Amino acid sequence: DLLAGDSFFVTDNGVKSDGTFALLGEGVLRYTASSAVPAGTVLSYTGVGGDWTNESGSLNFPGAGDQAIVFNGTVDSPTFLCALQTVHDFWFSDATSPLASALPPGLTAGSSNAIAAGCGRSCSPDGFDAWLDLE
């Protein structure tokens, strides 16, 4: 459950092998609950406004895939909550490009908190957007 005022961050920044963000020009959003949010509620992002604020850069999920990393704390000292990787069906050893991310520390690959579900080179150009149902 989230209480009114609770917040977390979402970024498409990859995580390096040392557990820090690669900071390759990606974006960071903050979600701050304006009222209580029960566990299991699906949160949607359609743009900045309401409970969503832009902290830096801009999120860009290209058709070739990307990652979405959810964390608390700060960009310099994150506590990772969950992550989704859609470039491949595995986590990279390091974040060497904006489309790559190592498994964030504290998360477990293949569990409900760290899913790598990309289709790799077999993706269509709009594969990531279609998979996430983005418009």
* Spans of all domains in the chain: 10-26+58-135
The 8-class DSSP code of residue 57 comes to S
Distance, in Å, from the CA atom of 21 to the CA atom of 8, rounded to the nearest integer, reads: 16
pLDDT digits (tens, 9 = 90+) for 32-77: 999 999 999 999 888 889 999 999 998 887 777 788 999 999 999 9
Determine contact, residues 71/83, Cβ cutoff 8 Å: no
Q: Among 25-34, 97-106, 112-121, which is the least confidently predicted range?
A: 112-121
Confidence grade of residue 135 (pLDDT, cut at 50, 70, 90)? very low
